[in-house]
Homo-oligomer: A and B are copies of this chain.
Amino acid sequence: MRLRNIKHLALALSLGIADFSATNCLADSSNQKREPLVLDSYGSFFVGGRDIHSDYLVRPDDPYLAFLAPTGTITVDQMYVQYKIPLGAHRVPIILIHGCCLTGKSYETRPDGGESWEEYFLRQGHPVYIIDQPTRGRSGREPTIFNQVAEGKADPSQLPVVHTAGHEGAWLIFRFGPQYPEPFPGLQFPLDSLPQFWAQIVQDYNSTVSAEGTPLLTNLSLLAKKLGHAVLISHSQTGPYPEETAIFVSPQGIDGIVSIEGLCLPDFNNAATTLAKIPTMFLYGDNVDKSPIWPGIVQGCQAWAGQVNSAGGNTTVVQTPQWGLHGNTHMMMLDRTNIQVAQNIDNWIAKNVESKKH
């Protein structure tokens, strides 16, 4: 088996089949050197998950059959959590939750090497927890149906929905510009480092879980309860998930919510009453009015904020131009002005979350 693979490798490489230049630029460097960062502790762990039985862990035609058994127990629905606690942490813990077709990488180093939101919040004294959604990134998923279909034991139509964002489609929905590859004037996204951004897009298997988002909600609640108190910052696809966690699982441990560029909930199950107790900001970037999709989403959130505030809540809808920041995109955590955006979020947290509880 090894010999055959090695021949394939040699052939592929000698033919120059692959072009590996797309991201061949390490992040660095035009950015100012930052001060050393002192961590009290750091690491990673999983929350949630359940054990299931499968007879399709490896296929009969797989060379790994010699090492792996088709039948056995696997753990699914777990959520990977990477954390850092700065020395002298004195602020509320922050949980950073990525969106569709992305992973926790969203909150790490900018495509052009600039400072990440994770690093900014650490330097402000917040413990920071970055997650990979269940079925995404370092959180595993369920292989059974894929191998059942491959072996003719299930109909191909049963394959779960898998999707990803192409560069051209993402350009529009992420509001990089009016049409690919034309940027909006004054855009703050580091377009000269686009290959590093495209490289972080992954396939989204959210529909392979029992109901979209369910393990994520349960796991976010487990994490918030364990921390005792936290601000949940969600993005895009996961925009409403912190609120859904509070409503469907528990509000315990959720001290505040910042939903970046997400959809808003309709009122149901008396959601507004529960959520009135949690300070919440819905945040959007620039150029909303130049998109066919985004104005309706922002209006929906404004209506929703009105409902929560009528129930006594503290919910606000902000577009970054209201802070004097222009050219921010759907991926504002990676924009060149990402730290100015984060400063405004942090001010909001200090005033609306920490001053009330701590």
State which of B44, B103, B157 has its C-beta within 8 Å of the C-beta of A109: B44
Nearest residue (CB) in B for A39 is: B37
Known A13-B214, A69-B169: A195·B22 in contact at CB below 8 Å: no
State which of B43, B143, B168, B204 has its C-beta within 8 Å of the C-beta of A203: B143
Q: Cβ of A49: which chain B residues have Cβ within 8 Å of it?
A: 20, 22-23, 195, 198-199
Nearest residue (CB) in B for A202 is: B140
**Roughly how many angstroms separate A266 CA and B4 CA in the complex, as a whole number?**
11
Contact A18–B61 (Cβ < 8 Å): no
Q: Cβ of A211: which chain B residues have Cβ within 8 Å of it?
A: 5, 8-9, 11-12
Query: Number of A residues contacting the other chain (C-beta, 8 Å)?
Result: 125
**Roughly how many angstroms separate A71 CA and B23 CA in the complex, as a whole number?**
22
Contact A167–B50 (Cβ < 8 Å): no
**Roughly how many angstroms separate A8 CA and B215 CA in the complex, as a whole number?**
12
Looking at the complex, which of A144-152, A184-192, A320-328, A335-343 is the stretch in contact with chain B? A144-152
Contact B198–A75 (Cβ < 8 Å): yes
Contact A57–B166 (Cβ < 8 Å): yes
Contact A58–B164 (Cβ < 8 Å): yes
Nearest Cβ on chain B to A233's Cβ, whole angstroms: 18
**Roughly how many angstroms separate A268 CA and B72 CA in the complex, as a whole number?**
37
Contact B169–A43 (Cβ < 8 Å): no
Contact A143–B162 (Cβ < 8 Å): yes
Nearest Cβ on chain B to A306's Cβ, whole angstroms: 18
Contact A20–B77 (Cβ < 8 Å): yes
* Interface assignment of A345: CB less than 8 Å from any CB of chain B: no
Known A17-B210, A74-B164, A108-B43: A150·B141 in contact at CB below 8 Å: no
Contact B149–A149 (Cβ < 8 Å): yes
Q: Cβ of A2: which chain B residues have Cβ within 8 Å of it?
A: 240, 263, 265-266
* Interface assignment of A165: CB less than 8 Å from any CB of chain B: yes
Most buried by B among A150, A151, A164, A167: A164
**Roughly how many angstroms separate A180 CA and B319 CA in the complex, as a whole number?**
56
Nearest residue (CB) in B for A107 is: B44
* Interface assignment of A308: CB less than 8 Å from any CB of chain B: no
Contact A162–B138 (Cβ < 8 Å): no
Nearest residue (CB) in B for A50 is: B19
Contact B147–A162 (Cβ < 8 Å): yes
Q: Cβ of A269: which chain B residues have Cβ within 8 Å of it?
A: 10
Contact B24–A74 (Cβ < 8 Å): no
**Roughly how many angstroms separate A131 CA and B62 CA in the complex, as a whole number?**
25
State which of B39, B71, B73, B141 has its C-beta within 8 Å of the C-beta of A36: B39
**Roughly how many angstroms separate A18 CA and B24 CA in the complex, as a whole number?**
42
* Interface assignment of A104: CB less than 8 Å from any CB of chain B: yes
Q: Cβ of A87: which chain B residues have Cβ within 8 Å of it?
A: 36
* Interface assignment of A34: CB less than 8 Å from any CB of chain B: yes
Nearest Cβ on chain B to A177's Cβ, whole angstroms: 15
**Roughly how many angstroms separate A244 CA and B41 CA in the complex, as a whole number?**
36
Known A12-B211, A18-B218, A21-B50: A105·B152 in contact at CB below 8 Å: no
User: Can you pick out 9 interface pairs between chain A and chain B where the beta carbons lie within 8 Å of each other?
Assistant: A9-B211, A9-B214, A18-B215, A20-B219, A26-B226, A44-B109, A45-B113, A46-B196, A68-B166
